[in-house]
Structure 1
Amino acid sequence: MRFYLNLSPVRTLSYIPFNYQYAISALIYKKLAQANEGYAEFLHEKGYAQNQHSRHFKLFTFSNLQGKFSVSKKALKLESNEMGLILTCHMPEFAENLIKGVFTDQHISIGDHTAQSDFTITQIEVLPKFLFDDASEVIPTVRLKLLSPIVMCRKNSRGNDDYLSPEDEDFIPLLIYNLKEKIAVAYGTEAAEEEVFEVFIGGLDNIKSRLVTIKAGKYAETKVRGFLGFEMEMKGSKRVIQLAMDCGCGGMSSLGFGCVEVSL
């Protein structure tokens, strides 16, 4: 499912930290906890997996903040009386608890040690699906619009992560492998083995990278590099493309990376 959250600032002057991804991810868990503490704890600490030995996924993601901003010395200044956020998820229980949590308390705070502002969620809108529910029918190649940077990692010889550009030869294979893992968690191992889909990358002259600091100013601070500005197309079953939109493409989706939608 896909939601659009309309956010109105509580005060006239509102500042958002440059690295707002972790703050938004944290407030999503907070909203889930206001509806169901047990579910929020499960999702945060574990998430969904094929079995106890396989990789775990949260199966949600969100877009960059949508609004008019100017850049100040230490933060982003909101230059309008509202901003928006697209939030997508696969599991019905996530959607149910999110809606309950929002209506329990429509107040949120986005910030870190550099800047913080309060907002009211004035509207939560369920966005229409671009695709039908028929899982078997293959659709024509669709263009995907990137709503946030895509993160793809590859371990180097030192055991550290190299963040890959779409120009890297491993970018597409690793992206497909990541989505296959999500398919296996969402629909089962057999479904993941049966699904055949292709990803195409273009517009490489316009690639942009974004370095995002996670948990800025804390002991566990880490830096993540994602890429956007390029073109991406996908051909496969409607179920796979819908899952890519619901759960995100690439890694670290629950921190707001890899959010995409079909570009009409």
Structure 2
Amino acid sequence: MRFKLTLLPTGSKTTVPFNYQYALAAVIFKKVAAADEQYANFLHQQGYALNNYSKHFKFFTFSNLEGRFTPQQNALLLQGNQTGFVLCCHMPEFAAHLITGVFTDQLISIGGSGAVGRFRVEQIVSLPAAFKDDDEIHTMQFKPLSPLVVGRTNAKGNDDYLSPEDEDFIPLLHINLADKLAVAYNDSYSGRIGIKVKHEPGKLKSRLVTIKEGTAAETKVRGFFGFALEMTAPGRVINFVLDVGLGGMNSMGFGCVEVK
């Protein structure tokens, strides 16, 4: 399920933090919690998994904020009278709680180090699915709506964040997707998914994003955009990718994609 949220600023001069992803994720969790605090706690603390030993996933993601922003000394200044973002999720209960939470209180604050932007949710529009949830094979190109993160653990136990030009980018992307599918469908769809990078000369870019900025848990994550991915897969898998994103840290606003 995919939704487009339109946000209207409540003040005349609206700024958001440079690193707004964590703050926006917190807003989403807050709206879900307003409808069902127990479910929000489960999602935040655990998430979905095959068992206690498998990877856990939250099965939602969101895009960058849309619209034009200009850098200020310590924030991004919104140019124009609205912004918005695409929010995607796989679990129906997540969507139901989010919508209930938003309509209970349409005001949100996207705040962090350097700025707090206050908005009213003007509209939520449901976006159509790309295909039927079936096993018919399709080929589709995706482009990132937010930086796509693929990490490779180095000798020190830390992640090196890979460019789409790295030879391990696609294999690790495959593994991550297979893990998600195994949790969602109890089927990794092994051998039925093909992914290729479609380079766009001169357009590849990366962004270094700080998560939990200014706290003891601060981390920096690098994601890439300005490229496309071609996927051949069953319609169910393509819809799933659109609903949950590709790569890592989807619930922090990374790896959200749309059909190119």
Length-normalised TM-score, structure 2: 0.97
| Letter of the 1:49 counterpart | A
Superposed counterparts of 1:1-264, under 5 Å: 1-133=1-133, 135-139=134-138, 141-188=139-186, 191-194=187-190, 196-203=192-199, 205=201, 206-263=203-260
RMSD of aligned alpha carbons: 1.0
Shift of 1:113: 2.5
* Matched pairs, number: 259
SS at match of 2:172: helix
Contact 2:178–2:190 (8 Å) recurs in 1: no
| Letter of the 2:117 counterpart | S
CA distance in 2, matches of 1:193, 1:160: 29
SS at match of 2:64: coil
- Spell out structure 1 runs of 4+ moving beyond 2 A: none
Deviation by residue 1:225-250 (Cα, 9 ceiling, x = unmatched): 00111121111101111111100100
Deviation by residue 1:138-159 (Cα, 9 ceiling, x = unmatched): 11x2110210110000111111
| Letter of the 1:75 counterpart | A
> Structure 1 unaligned runs (5+)?
none
| Letter of the 1:200 counterpart | K
CA distance in 1, matches of 2:110, 2:249: 19
CA distance in 1, matches of 2:225, 2:211: 18
Deviation by residue 1:176-215 (Cα, 9 ceiling, x = unmatched): 1101111011111xx2145611111022532101000001
CA distance in 2, matches of 1:22, 1:113: 11
Contact 1:195–1:237 (8 Å) recurs in 2: no
Q: Percent identity?
A: 55
Contact 1:167–1:204 (8 Å) recurs in 2: no
SS at match of 2:87: strand
SS at match of 1:192: coil
Deviation by residue 1:56-113 (Cα, 9 ceiling, x = unmatched): 0000000000012111121110011110110000000100100110011101000113
CA distance in 1, matches of 2:217, 2:200: 33
Length-normalised TM-score, structure 1: 0.96
CA distance in 1, matches of 2:126, 2:151: 32
| Letter of the 2:135 counterpart | S
